């Protein structure tokens, strides 16, 4: 097994992903899609489910420990404001670009033109969503322990930031707790490494089952839509994220890709930004040189509010719907689609539904009826997983891009590690030094 562990993890994960696609497609051809999916569901997919459970097991302790230790490592609570403003501004800016790209690709490809919706089974959807006030109040946990148990990410982030600030303000008396969270963060990252050794098997199982379950026939029915979504996502990743890394930060793009390939592959196979978060933090810290003070705060927030893939997808689906039902859109309709898609995508994590159900809110902007929305959702839903996987991979890439930018701007990026990852072995950051005012009497 020396050759196995001697091969870089990202190569093993990528190889498993390719083999999973081939295995699932071949098995579906031999056994038939339904039988192949059922067999994989019983004998192969449980390996993928185990991998997802292990990753999700780490989410809450990782967010809490890295974020608290990151705030302590900053040494000055005032820096939180600077980091927060830059992070939110960057996430919002990239989301706007995603909206524009989605609409442009919807116009160029016209994926809804001539589509036969006659066999689509309508799926009722609701446009009800929590108000802005309700979303903001939900960030403040009534019971932090309950929020930790429920995995309420935004509430955990809020509590962890306050706890970190409290440790800083406590000075010498808070040093012991600051050291504890710093040490705990290192331990959780080590556990993440152990779990990631299962990643190739988990990725293989999940991708094989997805390919067999979806079937090539179902994919062919909306091949143009899938192609438009994938090309739009790739364009956003290359032009927007690649452009930021290369021209704004003046850093090599391929180093970024190699550093994040594990997280991108896991995101693609699991279709969950939150489930990928432990891998994202580990990759950003150890491969890109993003210090804990940034990785621990920017990445958990991004996994919750950064949904560029969803924003782009909703823009394309809106035009798909307009073309399928013959709506003539004006320039103002396009503006409203872009604006609404940006808003609902940012709030996606707070709505207990898959992102496709947010489509109803976007379609309301140009008068699509609830019955037509239900038909579109029913038409898309059977193959949404294939596109959801790519959307999630883009979201994770965006999280890491913003974290790298903020780290660079805040002087918290180890550029030597970023530029020469093979020559600079990763060493966990030491426990935070004496916190502010440690010398006071």
Residue 171: per-residue pLDDT: 86
Domain edges within the chain? 2-419
Closest CA to 153 of 265, 300, 263, 28: 300
Q: Are 291 and 426 in contact (CB under 8 A)?
A: no
In sequence order, the 6+-apart residues with CB closer than 8 A to the CB of 255 are: 288, 418, 419, 421
Question: Rg for the chain (alpha carbons), in Å?
Answer: 22
Residue 422 has a pLDDT of 61
d(Cα 299, Cα 285) in Å, to the nearest integer?
A: 11
The partner residues of 290 in beta bridges, in order of sequence, read 413
The whole-angstrom separation of Cα 375 and Cα 373 is 5
Residue 137 burial (CB < 10 Å; 0-12/13-18/19+)?
exposed
Judge contact between 305 and 346, C-beta under 8 A: yes
| Closest to 338 in 3D by CA, of 110, 100, 112 | 100
Longest dimension (CA), the chain: 77
pLDDT in single tens digits along all 441 residues of the chain? 677 777 878 788 888 888 988 998 889 888 887 888 889 889 888 998 898 889 889 888 988 888 888 888 777 777 778 888 898 899 989 999 999 999 999 999 998 887 777 666 666 665 555 666 776 787 888 899 998 888 887 788 889 889 988 998 888 888 899 999 989 988 988 898 888 888 889 889 988 888 888 766 656 668 889 999 999 999 999 999 999 999 999 999 999 999 999 899 888 888 888 888 889 999 999 999 998 878 888 888 888 788 899 899 999 999 999 998 889 999 999 999 988 888 777 655 534 345 666 788 888 888 888 888 888 888 887 778 888 889 999 999 999 999 999 999 998 899 999 998 765 444 555 555 554 444 443
Answer yes or no: are the C-beta atoms of 63 and 299 closer than 8 Å: no
> 413 - beta bridge partners?
290
**Angle between helical axes of 292-305 and 78-109 (0-180°, round to 10):** 40
Distances (CA, A) of 173 to 70, 286, 294, 437: 18, 31, 24, 10
Closest by Cα among 279, 284, 299 to 199: 279
Q: Which CATH class is domain 2-419?
A: mainly alpha
Long-range contacts of 19-22 (CB under 8 A, 24+ apart): 19/204, 20/203, 20/204, 20/205, 20/206, 20/207, 20/208, 20/211, 20/269, 21/207, 21/208, 21/211
Nearest CA among 256, 247, 273 for reference residue 395: 273
**Measured in Å, how far apart are the chain's first and last C-alpha atoms?**
57
Q: Are 51 and 198 in contact (CB under 8 A)?
A: yes
The contacts of residue 248 (CB under 8 Å, 6+ apart) are: 405
Q: What is the pLDDT of residue 306?
A: 84
Region for 306 from its dihedrals, namely left if φ exceeds 0, alpha if ψ lies in -120 to 50, beta otherwise: beta
Query: What is the Cα 324 distance to its own chain's centre?
Result: 30
Residues in Cβ contact with 66 at an 8 Å cutoff, skipping those fewer than 6 apart: 185, 188, 189, 281, 292, 295, 296, 300
The encoded tokens of residue 14 equal 């990528």
Q: pTM for the complete prediction?
A: 0.82
**What is the token pair recorded at 341?**
């898609």
Calculate ∠ Cα 309-138-341, nearest 5°.
Answer: 25
Q: Let me know the angle formed at the C-alpha of 120 by 118 and 125, rounded to the nearest 5 degrees.
A: 130
């Amino acid at each position: 097994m020396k050759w196995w562990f001697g091969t870089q993890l990202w190569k093993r994960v990528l190889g498993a992903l390719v083999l999973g696609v081939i295995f699932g497609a071949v098995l579906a051809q031999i056994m038939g899609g339904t039988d192949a999916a059922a067999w994989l569901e019983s004998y192969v997919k449980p390996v993928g489910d185990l991998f997802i459970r292990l990753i999700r097991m780490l989410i809450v302790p990782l967010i809490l420990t890295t974020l608290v230790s990151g705030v302590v490592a900053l040494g000055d609570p005032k820096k939180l404001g600077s980091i927060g403003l830059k992070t939110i501004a960057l996430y919002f800016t990239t989301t706007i670009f995603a909206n524009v790209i989605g609409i442009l690709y919807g116009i160029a490809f016209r994926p809804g033109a001539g589509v036969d919706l006659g066999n689509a089974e309508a799926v009722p959807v609701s446009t009800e969503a929590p108000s802005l006030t309700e979303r903001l109040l939900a960030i403040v946990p009534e019971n932090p322990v309950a929020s930790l148990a429920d995995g309420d990410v935004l509430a955990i982030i809020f509590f962890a930031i306050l706890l970190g600030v409290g440790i800083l303000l406590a000075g010498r008396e808070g040093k012991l707790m600051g050291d504890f969270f710093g040490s705990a963060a290192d331990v959780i990252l080590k556990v993440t490494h152990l779990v990631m050794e299962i990643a190739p098997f988990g990725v293989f199982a999940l991708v094989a089952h997805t390919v067999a379950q979806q079937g090539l026939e179902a994919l062919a029915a909306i091949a143009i839509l899938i192609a438009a979504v994938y090309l739009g996502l790739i364009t956003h990743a290359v032009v927007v994220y690649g452009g930021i890394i290369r021209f704004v930060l003046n850093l090599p793009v391929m180093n970024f890709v190699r550093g994040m390939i594990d997280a991108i592959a896991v995101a693609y196979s699991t279709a969950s930004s939150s489930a990928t978060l432990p891998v994202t933090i580990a990759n950003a810290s150890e491969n890109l040189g993003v210090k804990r003070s940034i990785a621990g705060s920017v990445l958990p927030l991004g996994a919750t509010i950064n949904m560029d893939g969803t924003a782009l997808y909703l823009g394309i689906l809106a035009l798909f719907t307009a073309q399928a039902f013959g709506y003539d859109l004006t320039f103002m309709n396009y503006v409203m689609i872009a604006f609404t898609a940006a808003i609902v995508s940012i709030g996606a994590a707070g709505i207990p539904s898959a992102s496709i159900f947010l489509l109803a809110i976007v379609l309301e902007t140009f008068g699509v009826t609830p019955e037509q929305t239900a038909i579109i959702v029913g038409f898309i839903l059977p193959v949404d997983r294939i596109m959801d996987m790519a959307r999630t991979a883009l979201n994770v890439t965006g999280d890491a891009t913003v974290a790298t930018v903020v780290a660079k701007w805040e002087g918290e990026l180890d550029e030597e590690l970023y530029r020469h990852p093979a020559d600079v072995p990763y060493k966990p950051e030491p426990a935070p030094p004496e916190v502010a005012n440690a010398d006071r009497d």
